[in-house]
Structure 1
């Protein structure tokens, strides 16, 4: 109940005093009008949370203004206003009591970090610069940097940056974590210096090994990793090594051969990558497609090789979150060709997804066999009702209780798959 009261308080603050204050601060509304900051935010956030395909006419009906009046509100100031509201929501990080999962309970937190990119029209390249050259399809893009703490479900971010910013320079690369926590990342975050810093801070890490990384075995002999793995008779390798040239890091290397189907999928992806980049994939990378290779400072007592594999696969939780946001939340589908209207829609939909995550935490996060997809459908079904109760605290709390009860009854997986 306390968690629901906290969510209710956040929603009331968001759509009342915070909305009005930030509307004035960002220059979106200098005077009170029928379409003030709070009304504008409620219409966009609530309308698109309920239906990501809602037209501007439908949003205008929620705001009780004409479509023309709503269209005229999609300005650069409106985009700055909604971005400020998004920043406020990100700061209101919520978490649930730690889930009772024995493997995860060994750590002081399990943090999965990742990013996802949204391509934007070239007209927004000055605001959010993409990875491509001028005139290319990727000239403009927005990157979402997100962290997910798997024990409590707490969401870190989304922090926004231009799409061209590499994850190694992103806002979460230097994220401070508690001693005894586990940090799980993909190759985008791989940096030996950062791994050494984590070890010095007593933070545990688990990452894929970078292609071309210099590896040293016993007696400091250098190993050509792909060649060395190809010479092994075992399908599972678990040994202590040193990696790096200028910077040396002593760590545990865990590698296992993958099934032939996985090899074929990887090699097909390499062909597509070579076609896009117009250059062949390196021989070493091709050879390593037969293996999954990870580096960690987890001891064998903290995680067996099989448990290392299970822990790394937890990354799919954040990938599922991105899928929910993009597919279910409509982040990559817009209802205007005007640049500022597109940004307003993206920011409003991101706020809606954060609100949805708050409700999922309160409703089903502690259920091992939860279905996040089903939970998101329930939130969408009740979003309008929730919106209309914002200014009535008792009714708002009752609506939140009803939403969470609906999740607990109808959000289990159809199969035996467990979303940890």
Structure 2
């Protein structure tokens, strides 16, 4: 189960050979296949649940951010297609989308993942079918809201009930604002904002950003801060091209209002300006990109999206075991990263660490039975980290720790 890195090529015969070589356990392919059943899936699911419920004691004060927020909760999802035989449980779009990779498959799975940036604690990890979108997830699974939590999510999760739920719990949100959301100026609360006029003003005066007090929603009119920033022409053209392609598929034209909105980025938050000023809103929002990087690591290193035709119970056991492996290594990475940062003030790359963890996966697996060997591996990880896992700063981009420090 934990020979994750072999992807599609890992067969039942490979499992049999591995069991014989490592454990001197002789078993046939059929006997292995019979063991992939509902009880085995539940077993792996419970292991994952126990791992998620464990407290990851990796908390540290990133540039004073802890004093302002209880937790910084970041959530995102990743989807990938499955064999057609899994359609009865993991439904897809059946080719009814507008051309994307995930639109043209009858079976699709979504992995929802949320963790706290401050402690490194994983708060949610679930498998759903591909038809369940982020919006319905934010409605059904935004739980355990504590006072002074900060929720950072993409526009796909943003809805008025979601925003009201967070604000009602004494917590804070920072979201991209969906294009269809109705926004009113706080001054009168009756006239919807004219985004075409707004863009013209920003363009005329060459403004890099603008902030307005607004009310969100036709009925509730939730008071928020709206931070507006223009996008470059390449981003604008990409948005219009995507909207035009979708419009052709569903037989509608892109409106002038949408074109005006597409020239701007909108960030909405209820965090007080003294705790998060206008210039830093986008910087904090970019912390969400850490999850996108993590999903890329999951797919490239653990190959969670490389699925061949097999029994669905076997697939679920394999996917859960890969997620368990990923979270265990995430725990090692957070511990190692904190230690190296305290000692050397050096930031570590999650990508480089997982590549290393993949190379020594068999040694780590065997070390689980021998605490002495595990200790040796962890000591070596700390020793080589400043040389092999250094995070290289990309031009004009701040890392997670640099962003936190900049907020101090």
Q: Which TM-score band (shorter chain)?
A: 0.7 to 0.9
Structure 1 match to 2:118 = 151
Tell me the number of residue pairs that the alignment of Structure 1 and Structure 2 aligns.
Answer: 375
Structure 1 match to 2:174 = 206
Whether the 8 Å CA contact 1:386–1:400 is kept in 2: the answer is no
Structure 1 match to 2:241 = 268
TM-score (norm 2): 0.82
Structure 2 CA distance, aligned partners of 1:339 and 1:363?
Answer: 36
Aligned to 1:158, the other structure's residue is in SS state strand
Deviations 1:189-209 (A, max 9, x none): 212123123223221111112
Residue among 271, 275, 279 paired with 1:298: 271
Structure 1 match to 2:48 = 86
Residue among 322, 326, 334 paired with 1:349: 322
In the TM superposition, what is the alpha-carbon distance from 1:168 to its structure 2 partner? 3.0
**Correspondences of 1:85-124 after superposition (within 5 Å):** 85-102=47-64, 106-124=68-86
Structure 1 match to 2:218 = 245
Structure 2 match to 1:127 = 89
Structure 2 CA distance, aligned partners of 1:378 and 1:101?
Answer: 29
Whether the 8 Å CA contact 1:184–1:315 is kept in 2: the answer is yes
Structure 2 match to 1:402 = 380
Deviations 1:256-283 (A, max 9, x none): 1112222223223334444555544444
Matched, 1:166 2:133: yes
TM-score (norm 1): 0.80
In the TM superposition, what is the alpha-carbon distance from 1:248 to its structure 2 partner? 1.4
Structure 1 match to 2:403 = none
Structure 2 CA distance, aligned partners of 1:351 and 1:276?
Answer: 40
Structure 1 CA distance, aligned partners of 2:245 and 2:67?
Answer: 40
In the TM superposition, what is the alpha-carbon distance from 1:254 to its structure 2 partner? 0.6
Structure 2 match to 1:376 = 354
Structure 2 CA distance, aligned partners of 1:74 and 1:173?
Answer: 29
Deviations 1:51-95 (A, max 9, x none): 546622443332224562434443444334333333332223524
Structure 2 CA distance, aligned partners of 1:93 and 1:273?
Answer: 44
- 1:276/1:374 Cα in 2 relative to 1: closer, same or farther (>3 Å)? farther
Structure 2 CA distance, aligned partners of 1:237 and 1:170?
Answer: 31
- 1:312/1:414 Cα in 2 relative to 1: closer, same or farther (>3 Å)? closer
Structure 2 CA distance, aligned partners of 1:164 and 1:307?
Answer: 35
Two-structure CA RMSD over aligned residues (Å): 2.8
- 1:411/1:276 Cα in 2 relative to 1: closer, same or farther (>3 Å)? farther
- 1:300/1:108 Cα in 2 relative to 1: closer, same or farther (>3 Å)? same
Matched, 1:220 2:189: yes
Aligned to 2:48, the other structure's residue is in SS state helix
Aligned to 1:220, the other structure's residue is in SS state coil
In the TM superposition, what is the alpha-carbon distance from 1:251 to its structure 2 partner? 0.8
Structure 2 CA distance, aligned partners of 1:382 and 1:280?
Answer: 54
Structure 1 match to 2:364 = 386
Structure 2 match to 1:61 = 17
Structure 1 match to 2:284 = 311
Residue among 314, 331, 337 paired with 1:358: 331
**Correspondences of 1:325-340 after superposition (within 5 Å):** 325-340=298-313
Whether the 8 Å CA contact 2:83–2:307 is kept in 1: the answer is no
Which 5+ residue runs of structure 2 have no aligned equivalent? 21-25, 97-102, 401-408
Structure 1 match to 2:146 = 178
Structure 1 CA distance, aligned partners of 2:10 and 2:163?
Answer: 47
Aligned to 2:85, the other structure's residue is in SS state helix
- 1:335/1:162 Cα in 2 relative to 1: closer, same or farther (>3 Å)? closer
Which 5+ residue runs of structure 1 have no aligned equivalent? 1-43
Whether the 8 Å CA contact 1:363–1:405 is kept in 2: the answer is no
Whether the 8 Å CA contact 2:393–2:399 is kept in 1: the answer is no
Whether the 8 Å CA contact 1:360–1:372 is kept in 2: the answer is yes
Deviations 1:220-256 (A, max 9, x none): 2412442242342443220111121121101111101
